[in-house]
């Protein structure tokens, strides 16, 4: 079974600084997708970024980027120029490819942004 591990229950970062959230996963599949979701205090789950396993290039969305290390099964999220609105729970998630729809989520990392 696939597992997703987030080993940092809480992180903090100064406003305008950079922070990296860690995620590792376990799978025997070669075709899969990885995601980072953000859950602010409003509870709404929002997709931040996704990475296709077959792509070697790391995904980037504005201030958010990932470091995808396929061999190490590592998928970290880097947030640059942190803003107060980035404060939230962040969930790493895995989905097998080939039309398989079930997603496995990590336990989450709570990010605090210090003004």
* Residues contributing to the site for other proteins (CB under 8 A): 33, 35, 37, 42-47, 50, 52, 91, 95, 99, 101-103, 105-108
CA 68/CA 92 separation, integer angstroms = 12
CB of 66 to other proteins, least distance (A): 14
Smallest distance, other proteins to C-beta of residue 27, A: 16
Give backbone dihedrals phi and psi of 96, rounded to 5 degrees, phi first: -70, 150
Among residues 79, 95, 98, the alpha carbon closest in space to that of 87 is found at 79
Rounded to a whole number of angstroms, the minimum distance from the CB of residue 63 to other proteins is 19
């Amino acid at each position: 079974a696939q597992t997703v591990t987030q080993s940092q229950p809480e992180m903090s970062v100064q406003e305008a600084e950079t922070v990296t959230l860690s995620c590792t996963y376990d799978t025997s599949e070669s075709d899969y997708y990885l995601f980072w979701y953000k859950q602010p205090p409003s509870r709404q789950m929002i997709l931040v970024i996704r990475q296709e396993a077959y792509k070697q290039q790391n995904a980037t969305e504005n201030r958010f980027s990932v470091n995808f290390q396929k061999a190490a099964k590592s998928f970290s999220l880097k947030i640059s120029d942190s803003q107060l609105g980035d404060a939230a729970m962040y969930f790493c998630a895995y989905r097998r490819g080939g039309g398989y729809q079930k997603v496995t989520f990590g336990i989450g990392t709570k990010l605090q942004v210090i003004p």
